[in-house]
């Protein structure tokens, strides 16, 4: 027989408060009797908590999920050791913290051995034995250690552990030793390590997936899509996730959470709850972390090569195909040739500007500025820089007009999330001191900020 205990089991009794003669004095008795009839082992220690509205139930769930998130953000490394010998069983880094695991294990074993004998191995390290936990300081980290029957778990943390994390650790250690009892028994008898396949259990137990790189599903069901479109916050979450994915292979929940909160001005508890619902429905999917590390490595290598090749290239023209030709020419060019080519780019820029092709004009001016800077044409540097700045003002004014009109259109069709985003973009552009100065700009910013606050109330 396998015996189970169920935590956080929810139950709707199906009766109305106004018509139930048992409410509220005999609710616990009623619920207990119902579960006993279903075959549950009910005793006097059972805890029955009444949540008398759906709103309170959701608030409770929001709080639980928020604590899960804070706890996993705090975890940097998870280590499992044999209790007696200190043999490393599982070494799972949650984030890159530069921890020397061998030195840390020696530090932990020595301090626990000395603390149990009533001594302190390092008088600079405070050891607190509280509720069967050991809390130590190691370098800049907080170390939390707990013993099981056969294993010892060690968590490397940024901050001190919360009570919810301590409770989770105690539950985890009991579950781990029970589920993998045969592996542990074989380890203690033979020394054979075979625990790589237990990593997924650790990830689930400590909600590590919440800090994994995320992607969006490519197979969204019609019912899920319809539900998301009806939920303004979830729709905003998906829209911003797509924005991140347009330029990167993945995104992170904490980045997405911050982005959405800036727009909707709601509690992070509430936003994270909606993100979590999308995770549960597999709309947001944790990505393979090894694949992401490979992408990051490739990006860093390519960036290093680009900087080493020519660090004067402007971001505006860095991805332009013509810049490769420019770099090759500049290497073998004399001053006269450079001056002539610079003027050629200036004429092309002026022609594009007259045709209102401002982005193309900006690219040509930037190439001219690249040559002027590289060959130290001091007078030309100032002249071209001024032209680039003036053109930038024109482009920014067009962007302001576009964002403002787009925001007004979104507001009219009650698409408040996008309206807020466009108005905030307008505020950011107006706040640029190099573009607008004076009371008129400040007045427009104040009006837009007030509009954003009013729209946030409608979300």
- Together in a domain, 105 and 218: no
E runs forming strands in 237-306: 284-286
Q: What is the pLDDT of residues 289-312, one digit of tens each?
A: 555 555 545 544 443 343 334 344
163: closest CA among 138, 126, 201, 130?
A: 130
Domain total for the chain? 4
- Together in a domain, 196 and 222: no
- Together in a domain, 143 and 253: no
Residue 443 pLDDT level (bands cut at 50, 70, 90):
confident
Q: Which residues have CB under 8 Å from 178's CB, separation 6+?
A: none
- Together in a domain, 37 and 125: no
- Together in a domain, 87 and 124: yes
Q: What is the pLDDT of residues 152-191, one digit of tens each?
A: 999 999 999 999 999 999 999 999 999 999 999 999 999 8
Average the pLDDT over 368-395 and give the result: 78
- Together in a domain, 206 and 98: yes
- Together in a domain, 197 and 269: no
396: closest CA among 365, 441, 354?
A: 441
Q: Which of 243, 264, 290 is the last residue of a domain?
A: 290
Domain membership of residue 374 (yes or no) is no
What angle, 0 to 180 degrees and rounded to 10, lies between the N-to-C axes of helices 358-374 and 322-331?
Answer: 20
Host domain of residue 38? 1-50
Domain membership of residue 360 (yes or no) is no
**139 CA to centre of own chain:** 26
DSSP-assigned beta bridge partners for residue 88: 81
| Residue 251 near residue 214 (C-beta atoms within 8 A) | yes
Task: Specify the range with the lowest mean pLDDT, choosing from 179-183, 383-387, 445-449.
Answer: 383-387
Residue 128 pLDDT level (bands cut at 50, 70, 90):
very low
E runs forming strands in 22-74: none
- Please tell me which residue, 45 or 409, carries the higher pLDDT value: 409
Residue 288 pLDDT level (bands cut at 50, 70, 90):
low
136 secondary structure, DSSP code: E
Task: Specify the range with the lowest mean pLDDT, choosing from 167-171, 196-200, 365-369, 375-379.
Answer: 375-379
- The confidence score (pLDDT) of residue 404 equals 87
CA 253 – CA 380 distance, rounded (Å)? 47
- The confidence score (pLDDT) of residue 71 equals 94
Neighbours of 196 (CB within 10 A): 8
Domain membership of residue 308 (yes or no) is no
- Together in a domain, 206 and 223: no
- Together in a domain, 75 and 185: yes
205: closest CA among 68, 89, 79, 99?
A: 68
Domain membership of residue 25 (yes or no) is yes
CATH code of the domain covering residue 414: 1.20.58
**178 CA to centre of own chain:** 33
CATH code of the domain covering residue 186: 3.30.450.190
Q: Which of 210, 245, 270 is the last residue of a domain?
A: 210
- Together in a domain, 176 and 280: no
- Together in a domain, 73 and 205: yes
């Amino acid at each position: 027989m396998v015996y189970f205990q169920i935590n956080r089991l929810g139950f709707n009794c199906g009766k109305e408060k106004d018509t139930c003669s048992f409410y509220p004095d005999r609710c616990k008795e009623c619920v207990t009797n119902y579960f006993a009839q279903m075959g549950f082992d009910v005793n006097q220690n059972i805890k029955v908590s009444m949540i008398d509205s759906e709103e309170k139930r959701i608030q409770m769930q929001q709080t639980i999920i928020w604590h899960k998130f804070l706890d996993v953000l705090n975890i940097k490394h998870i280590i499992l050791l044999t209790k007696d010998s200190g043999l490393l069983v599982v070494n799972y880094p949650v984030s890159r913290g530069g921890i020397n695991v061998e030195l840390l294990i020696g530090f932990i074993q020595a301090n626990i051995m000395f603390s149990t004998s009533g001594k302190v191995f390092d008088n600079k390290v405070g050891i607190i034995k509280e509720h069967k936990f050991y809390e130590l300081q190691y370098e800049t980290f907080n170390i939390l250690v707990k013993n099981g029957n056969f294993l010892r778990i060690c968590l490397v943390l940024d901050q001190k552990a919360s009570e919810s994390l301590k409770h989770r650790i105690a539950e985890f250690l009991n579950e781990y030793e029970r589920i993998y009892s045969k592996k542990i028994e074989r380890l203690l008898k033979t020394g054979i390590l075979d625990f790589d396949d237990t990593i997924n259990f650790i990830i689930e137990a400590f909600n590590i997936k919440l800090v994994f790189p995320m992607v969006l599903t490519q197979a969204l069901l019609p019912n899920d899509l319809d539900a998301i479109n009806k939920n303004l916050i979830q729709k905003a979450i998906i829209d911003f996730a797509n924005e991140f994915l347009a330029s990167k292979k993945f995104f992170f929940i904490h980045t997405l959470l911050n982005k959405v909160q800036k727009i909707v001005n709601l509690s992070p508890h509430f936003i994270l709850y909606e993100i979590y619902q999308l995770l549960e429905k597999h709309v947001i999917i944790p990505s393979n972390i090894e694949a992401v590390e490979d992408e990051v490595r490739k990006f860093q290598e390519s960036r290093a090569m680009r900087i080493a090749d020519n660090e004067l290239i402007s971001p505006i023209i860095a991805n332009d195909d013509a810049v490769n030709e420019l770099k090759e020419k500049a290497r073998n060019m004399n001053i006269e040739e450079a001056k002539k080519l610079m003027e050629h780019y200036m004429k092309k820029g002026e022609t594009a500007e007259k045709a209102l092709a401002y982005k193309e004009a900006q690219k040509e001016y930037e190439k001219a500025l690249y040559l002027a800077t590289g060959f130290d044409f001091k007078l030309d540097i100032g002249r071209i820089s001024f032209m680039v700045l003036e053109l930038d003002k024109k482009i920014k004014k067009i962007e302001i007009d576009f964002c403002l009109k787009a925001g007004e259109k979104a507001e009219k069709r009650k698409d408040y999330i996008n309206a807020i985003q466009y108005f905030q973009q307008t505020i950011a552009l107006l706040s640029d001191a190099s573009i607008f100065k004076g009371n008129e700009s400040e007045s427009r910013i104040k009006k837009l900020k007030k509009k954003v606050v009013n729209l946030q109330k409608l979300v």
